[in-house]
Every structure is written in structure tokens, then in C-alpha cells.
Amino acid sequence: MEPISEVAELFRHQRAVRAFSDREVSDEIVEQVLTAATHGPSGSNTQPWRWIVVRDADVKAQVSEEYEAAFAAAYADRAPARADDRQPFTEVPVLIVACVQVPSTGRAGIQTGASIYPACQNLMLQARALGLGSVLTTLHRVKRAKIHEILGIPEGWDTAAIIPLGWPDRSYGPNRRPPISEVVMRDRCSE
């Protein structure tokens, strides 16, 4: 994919990329996308995140095994979207694990996501701007206990997403969306 420097072009060119070329992803690029992530907003600006950069083949293989089991269970009775395009994590150059601190109530809820997914989106947008592909995956949460053990996630932390990152396997066009009039309402819900 071509790099994008203009904000005006950025959002409609983000695509879910699940397969990557063999081209190396440099540490410098990983730093750039993580820097964008950490400039994201969070509740009361607490920045309650940690980011694990997984390049180690053995860690990838262990995480991949659990993820594939979760994937098989999730799609036991329906076809996954774009199954042919998906590489297992073992073949992905870099996995970024987005970790978020669990609130003092002890349980992550939808609001917890408000302090980590905007930062994930920054990461993915910065990746797209550089010409890299990524995708936000959360299916690992089905096998969370095992994956937390593999990654050594401590008490008080949760894993919000695993984001594969790499140079795309091919070119991707812009994303397509229906007109906003289909999803926008004025002042109150009207259905």
C-alpha cells in the first residue's frame, strides 16, 4: 500500500490487513507506531497502558496456538470473513499486544476500552500512513487465561487487543461505507 501523509485521505484508506509480506518491520517503525499510540487519549489522561512487542518465534507460536483454537471455536458454524487472506500469528512479522490496567472495581468493562482502543486506533492509523497494514483482533480473549500465562500478564492488567503488524501481502483499495444518513440521528433515537 502507498504511504499516506494527508489526514484527509487517511481514514478511508484504513483496511483490515491479516496477511503480510516477508519484508522486515524495523524497530524504528515499531517505535513510530507505538509513539502514535501513546499520544492517544485516555480517561483522566491516566495512560493506563503497556504495549508488548512480540517478535520471538516461540512466544508467537504459543500465542498462535491458543488464538487458532479460539478462532476455530468462534467459526465452528459460520464462515469467517476473508478466511483466505488470514495468516496465523506465527507468520506475522510483529504482534503488538495492547494491555490495559483493570479499574479498581476489579473488572474491565466497555468503559475500560475507552482508555485503550483510541490508542490502538492511533497505532493502526500511523501504520497505515507509513504503508503498513494491521488489524484489531480481540478473539484471544476467549483463551485469555492461557494467553496471559504465556505473556506473563500480571494481576490488575488485561489484554484489550492483539494487533498484527507488517507490510501488506498486496495492495488494498479504500474501505467502503454506506452514507452516514443511515447511521446518524438528530437529538434523539428515531427508529
**Contact of 118 with 62, CB cutoff 8 Å:** no
Burial letters 100-114, b for 16+ CB under 10 A, else e? bbebeeeebeeebee
Q: Which secondary structure element, helix H or strand E, spans residue 86, and what is its range?
A: none
Residue 21 CA to residue 186 CA, distance in Å, equals 45
Sole binder of its own copies in the list 20, 25, 86, 112 (CB under 8 A): 112
Is 38 a binder of its own copies (CB under 8 A)? yes
Is 54 a binder of its own copies (CB under 8 A)? yes
Sole binder of its own copies in the list 25, 29, 36, 162 (CB under 8 A): 36
Q: Strand 133-134 relative to strand 94-101: parallel, antiparallel, unpaired? A: unpaired
Residue 137 CA to residue 187 CA, distance in Å, equals 33
Residue 152 CA to residue 146 CA, distance in Å, equals 10
Q: How far is the CB of 70 from its own copies (least distance, A)?
A: 12
Which amino acid appears at position 100 of this protein? Answer: V
**Residues in 82-111 that interact with its own copies by CB under 8 A:** 99-100, 108-111
Q: How far is the CB of 88 from its own copies (least distance, A)?
A: 18
Sole binder of its own copies in the list 44, 104, 105, 171 (CB under 8 A): 44
Sole binder of its own copies in the list 52, 85, 88, 91 (CB under 8 A): 52
Residue 168 CA to residue 134 CA, distance in Å, equals 8
Q: How far is the CB of 169 from its own copies (least distance, A)?
A: 18
Is 24 a binder of its own copies (CB under 8 A)? no
Q: How far is the CB of 82 from its own copies (least distance, A)?
A: 9
Q: Whose Cβ is closer to its own copies: residue 51's or residue 91's?
A: 51
Sole binder of its own copies in the list 22, 104, 152, 173 (CB under 8 A): 152
Sole binder of its own copies in the list 61, 72, 73, 81 (CB under 8 A): 81
**Residues in 156-175 that interact with its own copies by CB under 8 A:** 157-158, 160-161, 175
Residue 27 CA to residue 165 CA, distance in Å, equals 12
